[in-house]
Structure 1
Amino acid sequence: MPSQRTLTLALVASVALNLFVIGAVVGVVVLGHRMREAVGGANRPRQPLWSAADTLPPEHQRAYRQLLRGQAGPVGGQMRQARQARRDAWGDLGAEPLNGPAVSRRLAEARALEMTARGGVEDRIVAFAATLPPAERADLAKGLALSGPGGRGPRERRQP
């Protein structure tokens, strides 16, 4: 039978090991939380079109964002089709014999799907903007100009 001293040492070692394991788990959880925030948790910049209405009054922000939410389903479906068409085209690029015109045609179809989706959203935004007072329409136009290709992203816009 083990001595009292051996049992005490085993108990102390067990407690120390358990504390080490608990500390490691807590450390991983805290580190994961901090990394998620740093990478873009709560402070992640929103989508450019979404941020374009930041300067509008709250009721117009809600209406604008509701419009974008309403477009998410149809646009998402078209964008998924475009991505699939592009993946299929790139897959065909490695086939033997290569049918370059067919690959190019599929890529053109993918681009056309993307443009159709984007065009639908843009047309809805134009119709929405037509309902705004001139000053608010100008603010929305400024936000949209900054959010598009060649514009500055939402993070850069906030800086003077």
Structure 2
Amino acid sequence: MPPTPPPGTPGEFVTVPDIDSVPGSGGIRGPIGLGFRVPCLVISPYSRGPLMVHDTFDHTSTLKLIRARFGVPVPNLTAWRDATVGDMTSTFNFAAPPNPSKPNLDHPRLNALPKLPQCVPNAVLGTVTKTAIPYRVPFPQSMPTQETAPTRGIPSGLC
């Protein structure tokens, strides 16, 4: 369950007086919260993996990173959200020199994965067709497992 702000936190609660008149709202009042947990891939000369960071981030974390790195103000950030979510500096190692080489994607585990036909068309290469290729649900179903990788336990700090 993602962190939820205390009742009445300014800017973090749905406070429309007549919420029932808003189409699709279902009359729901209460905290907005951080939403679903979403994995993020960080690709940068200052970030080399495999590495997992377990900090709490949300859609404002990229704004907080820009603020931390370049000093740009982020005026639309609530105090609660600012205190609750990270600024993504822990995903980078700004103390080390940048590594400009391209990541090696020729990994045996990646090469062993079956290529799904619906993933072959590529917008970059201009091979996307107008007709959608239906996705075949794998059978039998199985629970995904978490891969292991080194973790960075503490943020790298301000840049």
Q: Which has the larger radius of gyration?
A: 1
Task: Give the TM-score taking structure 1 as reference length.
Answer: 0.23
Q: Which has the higher helix share?
A: 1
